[in-house]
Amino acid sequence: MTMNSVFKEQIVKRNPTTMDAVKRVGLVLAVFVITIVAFTVIPPIAPFIMIAAGIGAWFCMGYLRKEYEYAFTDGELDIDVIYNRSRRKRLFTAKVNDFEIMAHVDDKMRAGDFQSAVEVHDYSSGEVNNDTYAFLLNYKGKRTKFIIEPNAVMLKAMATVLTRRRLHLKP
């Protein structure tokens, strides 16, 4: 990094949804059904199957606890997902200069600009608040809308790259 380099980082915790609760209940029910079937069909190894099913369900539940990490470095935005505070996966990387438009998700004047999006990726907490923004980008050959929650410091850093015509901050 040079003296003029910019590096901003932020973690956003994804709030549990109703679908996450349904998935948790489904996993518990699956373990229960597998245990009953195992004790009915093959009783000698049923305890081992029950333990394996329980460990598998516990491992899968870890993927329901998500955090997103935004890293803005010299005009490039990286978004990673962190599962269960331990497993990390890169979801997205792009130059902020390539964004067609970025505005608050409730900005009625810019809503028409986002209607042309073919895909939507939500990398936010799941709740709309003052920091919830959307940007439009031609990503992997498709016009894609991304929803993120950058804090004021990260927005200020992005403002150094994006022009006022493309970055519409909430007043």
CA distance 150 to 133: 7
pLDDT single digits (tens) 11-28: 999 999 899 999 999 999
**Which one-letter amino acid corresponds to residue 53?**
A
CA distance 107 to 112: 10
Residue pointed to by tokens 């899968």: 60
Output the pLDDT for position 4: 61
Residue pointed to by tokens 């010299």: 74
**Architecture in CATH for domain 7-15+65-164:** Roll (2.30)
Domain ranges of the chain: 7-15+65-164, 18-62
At 2, is the pLDDT very low, low, confident or very high (cuts 50, 70, 90)? very low
At 164, is the pLDDT very low, low, confident or very high (cuts 50, 70, 90)? confident
Region 130-148: mean pLDDT is: 92
Output the pLDDT for position 3: 45
Q: Which residues, in sequence order, are CB contacts of 50 under 8 Å at separation 6+? A: 31, 34, 35, 38, 39
Asked whether the beta carbons of 12 and 66 are under 8 A apart, the reply is no
Output the pLDDT for position 111: 87
Q: Which residues, in sequence order, are CB contacts of 17 under 8 Å at separation 6+? A: 126
pTM over 0.75: yes
What is the overall mean pLDDT for the chain?
Answer: 90
pLDDT single digits (tens) 71-118: 999 889 999 999 988 899 999 999 999 999 999 999 888 888 898 889
